[in-house]
Structure 1
Amino acid sequence: MIVAPTEFTVRGITYSIRVAVAEDAAALSHLRVQIDGESENLDRESGEDYIDAEQFAQIIKRDNDSPRHLFLVATVDKRIVGFSRCAGTQLKRLSHKVEFGVCVLKQFWGNGIGKHLLQQSMSWADSSGIKKMVLYVLETNENAIKLYKKLGFEVEGILKQDKLLSDGNYYNTLVMSRINES
């Protein structure tokens, strides 16, 4: 299913959300390294599990060719400032669900970009017959948890002492999901 580009204006910032294309690959490779270094909310530190432009191009192609995947980017003045992915599987027993992940440059936090990426993904999932969206969120990411709950996600479980952060302490990860009952 195709997701139409959508424009939003929040707090004077206008941004667009659209499906990723091959030409985004180099920018996404650079962006991912930058975002990973800005926050401990994600799994990686800056430069870990590096994905180069060619690998991103392959991911984009695979996602765009699959009815169970969605790769979205958020742009401000044609610059990619965030992205999200829904990844599913063709395995029959799991084909009803996708995993959602999102990241946004820190300077653009608070402008609804993550929320709109998630809402666009939820609309896509609902219209694609996907019954369940799953995501993982660090217990300390209170703003994200509040947003996910507001959008209908519920805590399904807790992965205890799941992540070691720079303060030397282990933190839990919440497993959250949203089930489309329709």
Structure 2
Amino acid sequence: MKVNAKKFCNKNLSFTIRLAVENDAKDLSEIRLQIDGETENLDREPGESYIDESGFKQLIFEDTEQDHNLFLVCEANGKIVGFSRCEGNTLRRKSHIVEFGVCVLQKYWGYGIGTHLLIKTLEWADSIDIKKITLKVLETNDHAIKLYEKYGFEQEGILKKDKLLSDGNYYNTILMARFKG
């Protein structure tokens, strides 16, 4: 299914949500590395599981070819400032499920970019009859948890002491899902 680009404006910031294309690969590699250094809400520290430009080109190609994958980017001020991915499963018994993840540069938090990436993803998932969207969120990320709950996600489980953060403490990861039908 084709996902059309859509423009938004919030708090005097204009931005566009659109499908990722091969030419975005270099910027995506750089932004992912930057985001990993701006927050502990993600699994990675800067440089871990690094994906270079060719790796992102491959991801974009695969996501374009797979019916149950979606790779969106958010562009503002002429550059990519965030992205989201949904990855499906080719196993028949799991073909009704996709896993969602989202990243936004800290400078662009509070403009609704993550919300619009989520909404666009939910519209896509509903249009291709995905029955379950899963995600993982750090227990301390209250803003994200409230956002996901607002859009119909519910807690499925907890991975206890799942992440060791810079303060030396272990934190839980919450497994959430939105079910349809």
SS at match of 2:136: strand
Alignment of 1:129 onto 2:129: yes
Give the 5 Å matches for 1:59-78: 59-78=59-78
SS at match of 1:61: helix
Question: Which runs of 5 or more residues in structure 1 are unaligned?
Answer: none
Task: Give the match for residue 141 of structure 1.
Answer: 141
Q: Deviations over 1:25-80 (max 9, x none)?
A: 00000000000000000000111111000010000000011101000000002200
How high is the TM-score relative to the length of structure 1? 0.99
Question: Which runs of 5 or more residues in structure 2 are unaligned?
Answer: none
Task: Give the match for residue 91 of structure 2.
Answer: 91
Alignment of 1:14 onto 2:11: no
Moved over 4 A (4+): none
Task: Give the match for residue 53 of structure 1.
Answer: 53
How high is the TM-score relative to the length of structure 2? 0.99
| Alignment RMSD | 0.5
SS at match of 1:37: helix
SS at match of 1:40: coil
Task: Give the match for residue 29 of structure 2.
Answer: 29
Task: State the shift of 1:148 in Å.
Answer: 0.4
Percent of paired sites with the same residue: 58
Alignment of 1:118 onto 2:118: yes
Q: Deviations over 1:94-135 (max 9, x none)?
A: 000100000000000010000100000000000011110000
Q: For the residues of structure 2 that align with 1:167 and 1:135, how far apart are their CA atoms?
A: 24
